[in-house]
Amino acid sequence: MIWKSLLCSSRLSDANNASRSPFNQDYGRVLYSSAFRRMQDKTQVFPLGRNDYVRTRLTHSLEVANVGRTLAEEMAFIADDRGELPLREGIKMTDIVATACLAHDIGNPPFGHSGEKAIEEAVSLSVAEMERKGLPVPECMRHFRFEGNAQGFRLLTRTCDPIRGCGLDLTFATLGAFSKYPCSAAAIKASGLMRYGTKGKFGLAEEDVPAFARVAEACGLLSLAPGVWARHPLAFLMEAADDVSYLVADVEDAYVSHILSYDQALEQLCKLGDLSEGKQAAIRDEAAARGCHAAMRMARAITVGSCIAALRDSLRAHYEAIMHGELEQGLMDASTLATPYNEVRRFSFRQIYSHESVLKVEITGFNIVRRLMELFMEWVHSPSGELGKKIGPILHASDDDSATQDSRFAHVVDYISGMTDSFALQTYASLFGCAPGM
């Protein structure tokens, strides 16, 4: 793959605004979008409202964008050093990666992974009921899996504040950098490839494959199998920035939320960043002088810096493999920090993500999203029925949205997944007359 193609500034609409940098324009379109703003009220891990310190999806995404921009600078320096792309052109990578990072969670439903599972279960139960009654099951529902990455691509290219009917109408370079799993579920299954994990992760709905095929062709992405492409090189940077940001933030937020003690949190950050004794001594001095909260902030900053340094080294070591579409793991897993990173992840699953306060939010969120999805499916199956006629106006469905069972199903998934946590809770309370405890 070559940078001249990879930094393609074309758009799905073929529109062009020569008065501004197209990649800076992309950044602004995501930043000002309604879907991005809604992430301020979507849970990252910890219950919102417990305190004002913990991250939301929005603040997490801003932090990811900062790390991603730094990694993109390194990629630009490497390309310049190798004579592949002048630095004045390569520096454009920073806006591309920052935008992809801003948008990386934009397709996530309320209550995160619990919301995803709730949508899937509601659809599965609906399919089972249709089969029990001997009714035909639409293909879009029969093999349905909700994937936040695929929903994100749909938002960016179709449904979010649509510009010329193409969503935010971002450049092909930015859409490529955003696409962590450039394949559809059916294509990756048919290919037999394990490149995107044994769970068959995917980033494209079937109807969005033609749009991404245009991105892939324009950017010169390598085809691995029908409907499956090698990642855009900048997608590795977006993924790595997320890997660093979420794990460091979850440890820090767990400390602030009193899930981890100061010593537990500090131990995990020192392990993750492989911090030297000198750096650990500086953190201890900070704790003695200004207290544990100040020391934790210092530990977080040092750990992020240490992880970025390791990722820069990993990027230089694996640059050739990335550009040839041959790297089958993320930059973090290919780095010197892979072992401590995975140790801290395992610790987090045991001590943070399994904490009672986190599990209660997941259970509550799961029940809210599943019940709403089950109710709205009545409109999908019977829009002219007694209940369906009442649900349609609530969903603000257009004539096109209401036209077919497939379009109604897509609209319900869009509507549910676009909810904030608070709006989902309020909708549940207004429709069912009660609200599960948060």
Q: What does the pLDDT average to over 331-359?
A: 92
pLDDT of amino acid 438 = 47
Same structural domain, 348 and 384: no
**Alpha carbons 297 and 436: distance in angstroms, whole number:** 34
In the chain, the largest separation of any two C-alpha atoms, in whole Å, equals 72
User: What's the average model confidence in pLDDT over 280-285?
Assistant: 89
3-state helix, strand, coil in the chain (%, to 5): 65, 5, 35
For all residues of the chain together, what is the average pLDDT? 90
CA 73 to CA 93: how far, in whole Å? 7
Q: Is the pLDDT of residue 47 over 60?
A: no
74 domain-assigned: no
Residue type at position 164: R
Residue 31 lies in a domain: no
Q: Which residues are CB-neighbours of 63 under 8 A, at least 6 positions away?
A: 55, 245, 249
b/e per residue, 301-327, with b = 16+ CB within 10 A? ebbbbbbbbbbbebbeebbeebbebeb
Better-scored residue on pLDDT, 53 or 219: 219
- Residue 436's pLDDT is 65
Residue 51 pLDDT greater than 80, yes or no:
no
Residues 322 and 420 in one domain: no
Instruction: Please give the pLDDT value at position 190.
Output: 86
Residue 341 and residue 275 in one domain: yes
Domain that holds residue 258: 235-356
Domain end, chosen from 356, 380, 411, is at 356
Do 336 and 367 reside in the same domain of the chain?
no
389 and 351 in a common domain: no
Q: Is residue 426 part of a domain?
A: yes
pLDDT at 219: 97
Is residue 399 scored above 80 in pLDDT? no
Q: Phi and psi at residue 429, in whole multiples of 5°?
A: -65, -40
DSSP element (H, E) containing 229? strand 228-229
Residue 145 covered by a domain: no
Quick one: pLDDT at residue 194? Answer: 72
Structure tokens at 51: 């305190």
Q: Of the candidates 302, 325, 356, which is a domain's last residue?
A: 356
| Angle 107-113-117 from CA coordinates, rounded to 5° | 100
d(CA 256, CA 42): 19
230 vs 438, more confident: 230
Using the predicted structure, report yes or no on whether residue 437 has a pLDDT greater than 70.
no
Residue listed under structure tokens 């933030």:
249
* Residue 351 and residue 366 in one domain: no
Q: 295-334, pLDDT tens digit by residue?
A: 999 999 999 999 999 999 999 999 999 999 999 899 999 9
| 229 in a structural domain | no
Predicted confidence (pLDDT) at residue 186 exceeds the cutoff of 70? yes
Contact 93, 26 (CB under 8 A): no
At 13, is the pLDDT very low, low, confident or very high (cuts 50, 70, 90)? confident
**How does strand 228-229 pair with strand 223-225?**
antiparallel
- The mean pLDDT of 407-431, rounded to a whole number, is 93
For residues 384-410, average pLDDT: 86
Residue-by-residue DSSP string for 171-213: BHHHHHHH-SS-BBHHHHHHHT--TTTTTT---B-GGGHHHHH
Residue 18's pLDDT band (cuts 50, 70, 90): low
Both 266 and 377 in one domain: the answer is no
Nearest to 388 by CA among 367, 369, 411: 411
Per-residue confidence band for 238, with pLDDT thresholds at 50, 70 and 90: very high
Percent over 90 (pLDDT), the chain? 68
Query: If we measure between CA atoms, which residue out of 3, 34, 47, 39 comes closest to residue 256?
Result: 47
Asked, for residue 319, whether it belongs to a domain, the answer is yes
Q: Is there a contact between 183 and 228 (Cβ–Cβ < 8 Å)? A: yes
Element (H, E) at 228: strand 228-229
How do residues 78-105 score in pLDDT, each as one tens digit?
A: 999 999 999 999 999 999 999 999 999 9
Does 303 map to a domain? yes
Residue 115 phi/psi, 5-degree rounding, is -65, -40
Tell me, yes or no, whether 270 and 323 share the same domain.
yes
Question: Which range, of 13-27, 246-260, 275-289, 406-420, averages the lowest pLDDT?
Answer: 13-27
For range 155-180, the mean pLDDT: 88
- The CATH number for 347's domain is 1.10.3410.10
Query: Is 267 in the same domain as 370?
Result: no
Integer angstrom CA distances of residue 357 from 14, 246, 256, 369: 48, 18, 13, 19
What is the number of domains present in the chain?
Answer: 2
What span, in angstroms and rounded, lies between the C-alpha atoms of 14 and 352?
Answer: 46
**pTM for the structure as a whole:** 0.92
Q: Is the pLDDT assigned to residue 49 strictly greater than 60?
A: no
Q: Is the pLDDT of residue 134 over 80?
A: yes
The pLDDT, as a whole number, for residue 197 is 60
* Residue 204 backbone dihedrals phi, psi, to 5 degrees: -140, 130
Residues 344 and 249 in one domain: yes
Cα-based distances in Å from 341 to 31, 310, 344, 420:
30, 11, 5, 30
Pick the closest to residue 67 from 38, 104, 106, 33 (CA basis). Answer: 104
**Once rounded to an integer, what is the mean pLDDT over residues 159-165?**
74
Which of 356, 373, 404 is the last residue in one of the domains? 356
Shared domain check, 341 and 248: yes
* Residues 375 and 344 reside in one and the same domain: no
Q: Which of 124-128, 162-166, 174-178, 380-384 shows the lowest mean pLDDT across its residues?
A: 162-166
How far apart are alpha carbons 175 and 377 in whole angstroms?
A: 31
User: Is residue 151, in this structure, part of any structural domain at all?
Assistant: no
